[in-house]
């Protein structure tokens, strides 16, 4: 079994926050792939399903962000899931909006949810870093991530979440590159090729027809005069 964790804060007050994009990602996966109903478990909400033959448990901790590790650690210990089989979806201010990156292990970069998970699991789990952009100054970060996505951001957010759901089976079977490609195709679909101009079959611009193959070229003035003299000799 694999454990996929979405980070966020519980309650309707925070539902649309940038900090809750991890919850949104799991909701999109569950809806797209017919996961079972959400139920209270491990101090969080869980839903079970199968992706590419792999059993996956989705977990949204309800402990608030800075205590997320308590929920994740409890689930991992009870189900005996090693960190290598745990993937955490979380907001990332160091990535531009709509960008996504995979990362295996490493530090928490000051993210409170990851910091808490580190305390309970160590650093050997995988992260799906979901770019939400940076407010421009570190003092504005807390207010920025605890505010809802703007209306102007809804289009890319919807595409990103749809891409995550479409690529989820690839991620479940360990195809990280395929997962990233699936998301990229949804967020930045290839442009259709430009139509090529039709071949010009109208002939010369004057509208005159082309001379038949092998025909002599039309005579110039000097040649016409020579022929006329020859006729009267």
What DSSP assignment string belongs to 73-117? HHHHHHHT--GGGEEEEEEETTS-TT-EEEEES---TT-HHHHHH
Read off the pLDDT of residues 82-130 as tens digits, 9 standing for 90 and up: 999 999 999 999 999 999 999 999 999 889 999 999 999 999 999 999 9
> Of 19, 33, 90, 111, which is the active-site residue?
19
> How would you list the strands of the sheet with 126-131, edge to edge?
39-41, 44-51, 54-61, 2-6, 86-92, 126-131, 100-104
Lowest mean per-residue pLDDT among 56-65, 125-134, 198-207: 198-207
How many Cβ atoms are within 10 Å of 227's Cβ, its own excluded? 10
> The whole model's pTM is what?
0.82
- Alpha carbon distance 229, 233 (integer Å): 7
- The reply to whether 19 belongs to the active site is yes
Contact 128, 87 (CB under 8 A): yes
Classify 198 as helix, strand or coil: coil
Higher pLDDT, 193 or 66: 66
Q: Which domains does the chain have, with CATH numbers?
A: 2-187 (3.40.50.1470)
- Alpha carbon distance 41, 141 (integer Å): 31
Q: Under 8 Å CB-to-CB from 199, ≥6 apart: which residues? A: none
């Amino acid at each position: 079994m694999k454990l996929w964790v979405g980070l966020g804060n519980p309650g309707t007050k925070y539902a649309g926050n940038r900090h809750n994009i991890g919850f949104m990602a799991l909701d999109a996966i569950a809806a797209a792939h017919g996961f079972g109903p959400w139920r209270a478990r491990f101090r969080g909400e869980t839903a079970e399903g199968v992706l590419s033959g792999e059993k996956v448990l989705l977990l949204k901790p309800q402990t608030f962000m800075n205590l997320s590790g308590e929920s994740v650690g409890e689930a991992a210990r009870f189900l005996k899931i090693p960190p290598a089989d745990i993937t955490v979806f979380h907001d990332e201010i160091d990535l531009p909006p709509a960008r996504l990156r995979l990362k295996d292990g490493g530090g928490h970069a000051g993210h409170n949810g990851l910091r808490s998970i580190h305390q309970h699991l160590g650093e050997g789990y995988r992260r799906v870093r979901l770019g939400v952009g940076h407010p421009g100054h570190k003092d504005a970060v807390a207010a920025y991530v605890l505010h809802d996505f703007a209306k102007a951001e809804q289009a890319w957010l919807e595409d990103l979440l749809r891409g995550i759901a479409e690529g989820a089976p690839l991620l479940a079977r360990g195809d990280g590159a395929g997962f990233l490609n699936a998301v990229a195709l949804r967020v930045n679909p290839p442009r259709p090729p430009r139509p090529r101009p039709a071949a010009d079959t109208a002939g010369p611009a004057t509208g005159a027809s082309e001379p038949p193959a092998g025909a002599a070229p039309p005579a110039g003035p000097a040649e016409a005069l020579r022929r006329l003299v020859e006729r009267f000799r």
